[in-house]
Amino acid sequence: MEQQLNSRIISRGKEFFGSISGEKPSLFNKGAWMGKVMDWSMQNEQFKIQMFRFVDVFPTLTNGRLLTDHIREYFGEEKDMPPFLSTGARVAGMFGSLGGAVLGKAISANIQEMARQFIVGENTREAVKNLEKLRREGFAAVVDVLGEATLSEKEAEEYVATYLELLESLQKEQEKWDGLAGKGGDRRLDWGHAPKVNIAVKPTALFCLANPQDFEGSVAAIMARMERILLKTMELGGFLCIDMESYRHKEIILEVYRRLRLKHRDYPHLGIVLQAYLKDNDKDLAELLAWGRKNGVQLSVRLVKGAYWDYETVKAMQNDWEIPVWTIKAESDAAFERQARMILENHDICHFACASHNIRTISSVLETARELGVPEDRYEFQVLYGMAEPVRKGILKVAGRVRLYCPYGDMVPGMGYLVRRLLENTANESFLRQSFAEDAQVERLLEDPQMTAERERSTRDGKPKRERPGVGGLPPFENMTMVDFTRADHRAAFPKAIAEVRGRLGRTYPLHIGGTEIITKDVIPTVNPAKPSEVLGQICQAGISEVEQAIAAAKAAFPAWRDTAPEKRAEYLMKAAEIARRRIFELSAWQVLEIGKQWDQAYADVAEAIDFLEYYAREMIRYGKPQRVGHAPGELNHYFYEPKGLAAIIAPWNFPLAISMGMASAAIVTGNPVVFKPSAITGIIGHQLAEIFGEAGLPAGVFNFTPGRGSVMGDYLVDHPDISLIAFTGSMEVGLRIVERAARVHQGQPNVKKIIAEMGGKNAVIIDDDADLDEAVPHVLYSAFGFQGQKCSACSRLIVLDAVYDRFMERLLAMARATTVGPAEDPAHYMGAVADDKAMKSILEYIEIGSKEGKVLYMSPTPEGEGYWVPMTIIGDIRPEHRLAQEEVFGPVLAVMRAKDFDQAIEWANSTRFALTGGIFSRSPEHIARARRDFRVGNLYINRNNTGALVERQPFGGARMSGVGTKAGGPDYLLHFMDPRVFTENTMRRGFAPVEADDDWVI
Amino acid sequence: MEQQLNSRIISRGKEFFGSISGEKPSLFNKGAWMGKVMDWSMQNEQFKIQMFRFVDVFPTLTNGRLLTDHIREYFGEEKDMPPFLSTGARVAGMFGSLGGAVLGKAISANIQEMARQFIVGENTREAVKNLEKLRREGFAAVVDVLGEATLSEKEAEEYVATYLELLESLQKEQEKWDGLAGKGGDRRLDWGHAPKVNIAVKPTALFCLANPQDFEGSVAAIMARMERILLKTMELGGFLCIDMESYRHKEIILEVYRRLRLKHRDYPHLGIVLQAYLKDNDKDLAELLAWGRKNGVQLSVRLVKGAYWDYETVKAMQNDWEIPVWTIKAESDAAFERQARMILENHDICHFACASHNIRTISSVLETARELGVPEDRYEFQVLYGMAEPVRKGILKVAGRVRLYCPYGDMVPGMGYLVRRLLENTANESFLRQSFAEDAQVERLLEDPQMTAERERSTRDGKPKRERPGVGGLPPFENMTMVDFTRADHRAAFPKAIAEVRGRLGRTYPLHIGGTEIITKDVIPTVNPAKPSEVLGQICQAGISEVEQAIAAAKAAFPAWRDTAPEKRAEYLMKAAEIARRRIFELSAWQVLEIGKQWDQAYADVAEAIDFLEYYAREMIRYGKPQRVGHAPGELNHYFYEPKGLAAIIAPWNFPLAISMGMASAAIVTGNPVVFKPSAITGIIGHQLAEIFGEAGLPAGVFNFTPGRGSVMGDYLVDHPDISLIAFTGSMEVGLRIVERAARVHQGQPNVKKIIAEMGGKNAVIIDDDADLDEAVPHVLYSAFGFQGQKCSACSRLIVLDAVYDRFMERLLAMARATTVGPAEDPAHYMGAVADDKAMKSILEYIEIGSKEGKVLYMSPTPEGEGYWVPMTIIGDIRPEHRLAQEEVFGPVLAVMRAKDFDQAIEWANSTRFALTGGIFSRSPEHIARARRDFRVGNLYINRNNTGALVERQPFGGARMSGVGTKAGGPDYLLHFMDPRVFTENTMRRGFAPVEADDDWVI
């Protein structure tokens, strides 16, 4: 930054501070309850977490018991609470149980008071009244309607309606309002140039399925509703600003803005929000300005720093995406100044709203505008209602025009907004906190953020990085990066890969035995389940003689493979992972066509296959190192593992690459040669294992590809005496059959067979009475109907507590109605076709059964014509004893049960033969702890979907009739494929024993 | 020490050093090959180990191939060898394979030369000739016959014969010898007072079964042969000194000395060796002197520091005994001075031989003797032949009388002696090394050792102790201290406990179900197998209805027990361990009577039971702590375990407490209530579990004691749908039956049953052509016949390489002949009765079969009269295809196979259906490495017995038909009793995620 300008900014800033000296935002007033909350939160991270979480759940605590229970669960007994929380209650405590109620009422009142600080009203009438009050104080407003997450078309419509109602009210009201003072004299405008009505709209509130995967669909749907609000706004000459939300929707929102901008090119008052904390924002802003100039349209940008820093960082790290936001606060501040300048330089085509509470930022904009000679009607200042009162007062003094961002609406969504504000104010880097709660040096607060950023970056870079230890010289395991549909290249890759794959249909896929391809006479075609007439390929089928050959090949390969060093075996897996990564879009495309996976699900399956390869490779290196047991001198005891023998891998079609690859690679890397039988309906995907392992150079006979008819060769393979290990994933019926048959030890059999069986599930999700429905509804829908519910982990029972049943179900059903069923290759569809004809018939039968046992609440339309279509089905009034509550349907059928309380919900959840996955949505610490112990499933998920377990992070598998207690992708998994051995050497000879470094020794 | 005396000692020492200034022991002469070996060994610990081990194995390398192979295996390729080793070979290397042979010859010659340094001759003739030479140089001698370990009566007799022959030769020879100069003038004596013939005898060479467990038997046997040598010595007026060996035999040897001393009280020339490095020695010496005085007999003590420091330390640590030796070298030096003074103070009744090379020690003795006015004929100095030539020369100058300790005999035992000498000289603390190889300061070398010791002790105490981490606040696991029959109290405890137990015979033992004792009408008696008419007790038998009751009790106990904290569950095990420790002799006594275990074996079984309790308690605490998997921010994934359900424990009789307790405690501590069925023939020991768990306060129903007839309730228990887990140890036939039956999933069964089955073995021990037979013979005998061979780990096949077959078998059979079969309660017997009538018949049938398949090499006598007696049986000429090489006999029958080479031995070893234990005796690094990989058994033992696996140190169990790959007492064992679960919480609410300490995080 130019030195002179920076000096002027600093002088301006000092003046600004001087002008508000001694004033404090109400938020930091320690005399008030809210100020105490802020104070404690800043001093005590644990209290802050509990407090903010409590604020979040607070609106659902609609009765005294819920309220007092949660207060205890979040803050402990009264004696453990901060004094300001418990005051009053302590006194009241003397009157027995009345104490809790009194405490609850006091806290409740205080939180509501706190919320009102930031919210301009609970309804349109209140809001309008308050806006008028603010205008009398000299403040303009931008009005935002708070809402729960939009989960349905109905909710989107209600949202639109609220805006239209608001505009209607304001239309009448604005006539009565004098324009705020300013240069111009037009009474109809504020400050002589600005519409008196100014609203902000969140785009994702207009379409519940907004999703970058379905980019075009999302843009179109949002645009349609946004335009209705815009038209009404235009009618009254108002200003509409399109809010920016999370990074995920950024490209969609920009596109909506551009399209609306072009379509209504002559109406000037249409703006968009850009977020300075996004690393993309320099480029996005430059492109937008260039686009505006090229198209000759007027733009308006409200520049903010961004309010979802935690969320964006966490999401990116969870998915292994590049973090989209600046990770040093000052970097965002610097970006803001840089980008503000860019807008001001383009003030001829772009109006600017500077939305910041940071006095350095504001001073910088003031001085930059002055330097560039920007007319006052081309920029304005915005501040959040209820925050930073001294700052808004200061700006009013110096610039004469401040617009307050005024949300209004219900308590429930209001709490989310409140938590964001509390977070902002209590963050260590918060300008307000530093300025008003900590009295930081003015110099430091006004420093050029570019310099601050550079200093902090160099401090950070100088610190030693915490690195997790890897094994065998490899970096530590990381999950494969998730597909990122915010990236245009990822979006484009799918149609392209699908088209390419379509160019290769109709081939014949051979067996691979002992390194040789074998073509059989018997073949089975595989087809596109959304269009069965589309034959994808012909899969050769192994008979008994081919199975014998494969076993012979595996047996021949065994001794050398067993004695191959673990690190070397792991290397083949790493190579295979590399190959799969290279082919990931192509492999995903095959899944879209052969088994009807949605794009993201297809990609996730391939990614999981890669994860298994990478994870098991490392696990084998870890287990491959003999472990010294005991430390007595004079003896060495090494505990180590060796493979069990020949492995039969019998794979399902639902995770056709991931589960196949997981089971096969675990067997291979532990030293067990494999005879692999894929599912008949995903033969091409099964063949991909042969391709990948072949290219990786696995020695002949270590992996043998033998698809075959179960009736012909299934039992034969299971019974074969040379097989020592069977890894199976599939239905309970087949699994138990294998367990029983394989237990018979036949003549000449070397080992008792080890069975790793992953079987079915009848997985329940519990909706607690304090659940966050905004989260619960879409997660349940996804858990139940993602990939047509054809996951052993899928939610197939939904247990909703009576207290929230009506509200939750209403929203769930509404969201379900918003979805469509159709070919998976079109990302607009939420659900595709089911696996095959047999699956379709079986699921339809269950729907028939369910419709008799309970009441069909929803059954979606399905496409006309060919394809294995089953409606998305939700059946209510199901009781634990119903077949629909007990039997695995393995399709898009959700059985809904209404439980009277949490105890009953847990009891029902545990009431099946299965124990695979489960979920609860709850914000009660006690209920979460209780579920952790008592909801006895292999994988329990709290407040998220219960599918999509990731390797390492969610080792997957269940007990009871869901499996034999193994956990794929977990730290114990490889143990099941090996036998431990112990080598004991007496190292003492002639009374002389060498001392080992880790001996227990006398000195 | 008195200051003045110390000053005199130091002056004397300085004088001594001065008198030998510039001289070096030949050992440290770097010009010679031996000096180079010493030099390299002192610089390079790894080379030292390899070199000394090579010296040890050297005598067995009887052909060129063996020699060159071992040189390569021990020292690597020529290019990697120290120059002095490879010199010559490098040149020769140019002539191809000839190089190895030349190198071998060179090394061979050098080692033989090195051995000759310390050994006065290879036979009596050579020895006598050399003694004469030494006398000419002015040195007297004490002659010791080197021998292999005595493993049989024959070898003991040969040893006696050699001494008699030696004495015979010396008797003639001494006539020709002039007495060495001294004060006296008697030509028939040396120095005027000492017999010219002086021999030393190792007592354990006189009895192959010397063992403190059989104290009286050992003393009597040694004494009988020692007396024969003594009488001959007396005949020629010679001196006999009884050597002291390892600590284990110390009390026996002292007793032999005392008895001989009394019996031949008037013959003065009978001495004993005492070891100053033993912590006991102050007390032992004082007691011996008091005893001598009381009995009016003349004593003679040769005081040494002790040569088995490594061995004593290692053995004690391996067995968790107090280390019997001083752990700081200077402590031994100080003890020597203290004890020398004690002897000199008693010079009227005790002649003293000071055996040390330490100039400080020698000076101290000289000055102390002077101070006390000890006549010169009451003390003398001894030095080892071949060592410390300057020292012996110095003593000769100053004292005029030095006796050299002169061993003679074969190369093979000579190497053991050589290695001990090399170790002594290269030890860091070696006085000779410090004096002559490192030129340490004379002041330091002459310092009062008491002061040195105190300084070193305080340095050591100041150092931070390395401590292995414990879990849950407990100290780290340690194996139960082994019984120590060197302690009189342990020896006395057994007869006492057996007598007490005998006072409690005939009781009725009830079932224990749900915390209640139940008496049934059906009872089965248990008896003493050595005397079946002795009924020990009546065991109540559970029928189907009792099994149902037990299962119901376990089921009722399950929920609470499952949810009991792992630490709490572990506490019950710790309490049980405490109870068993308290009762250990009593519990052992029951085993002696009920199943015929030898004392040590009985104690070991109880100790192992305690180990299981202590180990699994800690393991559960370790596993009880949920493990965070993955570290993505915003989500918490906890991996943890829960019990599988109800466990049926079906136990064998052969380790009636240990295996029962191991399986039951693993089930219990992991949260699975137990229905326990002991073996019918060890019902009383089975009942001890109920007693111990009852006293430990285990909640009702968690452990249910239900002995019962297999035919009545065995299958019922296995098939029961409420059982989720079966832990079984027993025969392959029963194990496979359980595996097969339990695989059927019955109506209402919650889980696929988990089976932990430990089955049979047909374990081979291979004797390689370079084996140390002194070690191999007794270990094989013990592995095959300990507890009558009734261990699944027992050696039942012996594969001996052709090259050593004759020599090894001769010694093995001779040792077998030395043993006796009889009631286990008498510690004189090596073998007791077998378990019961059925076992006896089955074993006798196998002997019948074996005698047809092969050739009976040995069949021991058995006691007359009642009892389940089976002879100790060794059958040769067995081939891999014979039944005796394939079927488990489970009794004292050893099948011997003669293999042409190591490859064939390994092939045969692996040629059965079993894969439990195995052993090899070999000193070939390559063969050991090969066996580690290719000898595919659960527990492979190198150069030791292959029974007696210890918890933690040798996790036990095998694969193939020996078991399902679990390892009792190992780090994975508890995993088999639990199912893993994963708890996943989305911790992000409203975009706000608390940061966990171990999150992967951006900064």
Token code pair at residue A310: 């935690």
Assigned token pair, A210: 């907004």
CB B550 within 8 A of CB B722: no
Task: Tokens for B994, please give them.
Answer: 């608390």
At B194, give phi and psi (nearest 5°): -105, 135
Mutate to test the interface with B, among A611, A911, A981, A986 (most CBs of B within 10 A): A981
B933 to A563: CB separation less than 8 angstroms, yes or no = yes
Contact A317 B420 (CB under 8 A): no
> Are the C-beta atoms of residues B190 and B180 closer than 8 Å to each other?
yes
User: Which of B927, B992, B995, B1000 to mutate to probe the A interface, most A CBs <10 Å?
Assistant: B992
Residue of B nearest to A245 (CA): B991
What are the tens digits of pLDDT across the range A653-666? 999 999 999 999 99
Measure the CA–CA gap between A764 and A799, rounded to whole angstroms: 7
- What pLDDT is attached to residue A89? 47
Residues of chain B contacting residue A992, judged by C-beta atoms under 8 Å apart: 49, 52-53, 310-311, 419, 423
Whether the per-residue pLDDT at B96 is higher than 70: the answer is: no
Query: Alpha-carbon distance B771 to B769, whole Å?
Result: 6
| CA gap A854, A864 in Å, rounded | 27
With H, G, I as helix, E, B as strand and everything else as coil, classify residue B857: strand
Chain B residues with CB under 8 Å of A462 CB are none
Residue A743 to residue A74: CA distance in whole angstroms:
51
Across the interface, whether the CB atoms of A563 and B970 are under 8 A apart is answered no
Cβ-defined contact of B944 to A984 (cutoff 8 Å): yes
- Indicate the pLDDT class of residue B182, thresholds 50, 70 and 90: low
Residue B998 has pLDDT above 90, yes or no: no
pLDDT tens digit sequence for B206-254: 999 999 999 999 999 999 999 999 999 999 999 999 999 999 999 999 9
Q: Which residue of A has its CA nearest to B1000?
A: A317
Q: Give the full edge-to-edge strand order of the sheet including B763-767.
A: A627-628, A635-643, A978-986, B939-942, B917-921, B763-767, B795-801, B893-899, B873-876, B855-859
Residue in B953, B973, B995, B1001 to test binding to A, most A beta-carbons within 10 Å = B953
Asked if A828 contacts A818 with a C-beta cutoff of 8 angstroms, the reply is no
Q: Any bridge partners for residue A649, and if so which?
A: A676, A727
Which residues are CB-contacts of B383 (< 8 A; sequence separation ≥ 6)?
B355, B357, B391, B392, B395, B402, B403, B404, B405
Burial class (CB in 10 A: 0-12, 13-18, 19+), B43: exposed
Distance between CA A357 and CA A354 in Å, rounded? 9
Beta bridge partners of A989: A992
- As a whole-number percent, the residues of chain B with pLDDT over 70 amount to 98
Regions of chain A with pLDDT less than 50: 89, 91-95, 1003
What residues of B are in contact with residue A958 (Cβ under 8 Å)? 979
What DSSP character marks residue A824?
T
**B350 belongs to the catalytic site:** no
ipTM rounded to 2 decimals? 0.96
Contacts for B845 with CB less than 8 Å, ≥ 6 apart? none
Total-model pTM? 0.95
Active-site residue, from A406, A540, A792, A795 = A792
Q: Are B579 and B632 in contact (CB under 8 A)?
A: no
Beta strands in A115-224 (DSSP E): 140-145, 189-190, 194-195, 198-201
Q: Which residues of B touch A633 (CB under 8 A)?
A: 313-314, 317-318
Chain A residues lying within 8 Å of B985, measured CB to CB: 928, 941-944
Binning chain A into helix, strand and coil, the percentages to the nearest 5 are: 50, 15, 35
- Alpha carbons B638 and A933: distance in angstroms, whole number: 12
Q: Which of B983, B995, B999, B1001 to mutate to test the interface with A (most CBs of A within 10 A)?
A: B983
* A954/B629 touch (CB, cutoff 8 Å), yes or no: yes
Distance from CA of A22 to the nearest CA of B (A): 32
Looking from the CA of A856 toward its CB, the CA atoms found within 13 Å total 15
- Ramachandran area for residue A299 (φ above 0: left; ψ -120 to 50: alpha; else beta): beta
Looking up tokens 């669960």 gives A73
Minimal C-alpha gap between A367 and chain B (Å): 33
B758 annotated active-site: yes
Whether residue A629 and residue B955 make contact (CB cut-off 8 A), yes or no, is yes
Q: Express each pLDDT in B23-42 by its tens digit.
A: 888 888 888 888 888 888 88
Model confidence band, residue B55 (pLDDT cutoffs 50, 70, 90)? very high
The DSSP secondary-structure symbol of A281 reads H
Those residues whose C-beta lies under 8 Å from the C-beta of residue A289, and which sit 6 or more positions away, are A299, A342, A343, A346, A349, A350
The DSSP element (H or E) to which A534 belongs, if any, is strand A531-540
Q: Do B953 and A632 touch (CB under 8 A)?
A: yes
Nearest to A278 by CA among A227, A338, A226: A338
Q: Quick one: pLDDT at residue B95?
A: 45
φ/ψ of residue A330, rounded to 5:
-65, -25
pLDDT of residue A298: 96
Which pLDDT band holds residue B413 (cuts at 50, 70, 90)? confident
What chain A residue is nearest to B319 in terms of C-alpha separation?
A632
Q: Which two tokens stand for residue A954?
A: 């969610």
Q: Are the Cβ atoms of B980 and A965 closer than 8 angstroms?
A: yes
Using pLDDT thresholds of 50, 70 and 90, give the confidence band for residue B94.
very low
Cβ distance B944 to A986 less than 8 Å, yes or no, reads yes
DSSP state of B631: -
User: What pLDDT does residue A86 have?
Assistant: 74
Please check whether residue B927 is in contact with residue B829, taking contact to mean a CB–CB distance below 8 angstroms: no
In a 13 Å sphere around the CA of B414, the CA atoms on its Cβ side amount to: 22
Q: Check pLDDT > 60 for residue B661.
A: yes
Catalytic residue among A78, A331, A619, A758: A758
Q: Are A703 and A648 in contact (CB under 8 A)?
A: no
8 Å CB contact between B662 and B541: no
Residue with tokens 């071992």: B70
Q: Give the C-alpha separation, B673 to B303, whole Å.
A: 60
Q: What is the mean pLDDT of chain B?
A: 94
User: Are B310 and A971 inside 8 Å of each other by CB?
Assistant: no
Contacts of A964 in chain B (CB under 8 A): 752, 754
List pLDDT tens digits, range B450-469. Answer: 999 999 999 988 888 777 88
CB of B872 closer than 8 Å to CB of B815 = no
Catalytic residue among B245, B447, B546, B758: B758
Count CB pairs under 8 A between chains A and B.
Answer: 296
Are A975 and B972 inside 8 Å of each other by CB? yes
CB contact under 8 A, B736 and A750: no
- The rounded Cα B608 to chain-centroid distance in angstroms is 16
pLDDT digits (tens, 9 = 90+) for B100-147: 778 888 888 888 888 888 999 999 999 999 999 999 999 999 999 998
List the one residue out of B552, B354, B330 whose CA is nearest residue B456: B330
Q: Which of A331, A415, A989 to mutate against chain B (most B CBs within 10 Å)?
A: A989
> What is the distance between the alpha carbons of residues A404 and A386, in angstroms, rounded to a whole number?
9
Bridge-based pairing state of the strands B939-942 and B917-921: parallel
Q: Among A762, A788, A770, A789, which Cα is nearest to A942's?
A: A770
Which residues, 6 or more positions from A622, have their beta carbon under 8 angstroms from its beta carbon?
A: A471
**Residue indicated by tokens 């997985």:** A763
pLDDT at residue B306 in the model? 94
- How distant is the Cα of B728 from the closest Cα of chain A, in angstroms? 14
Are A955 and B629 a contacting pair at CB < 8 A? yes
Point out the residue among A633, A980, A985 whose CB comes nearest to the CB of B943: A985
Query: Is the pLDDT confidence value at B811 over 90?
Result: yes
Nearest CA in chain B to A948: B984
Contacts of A923 in chain B (CB under 8 A): 989
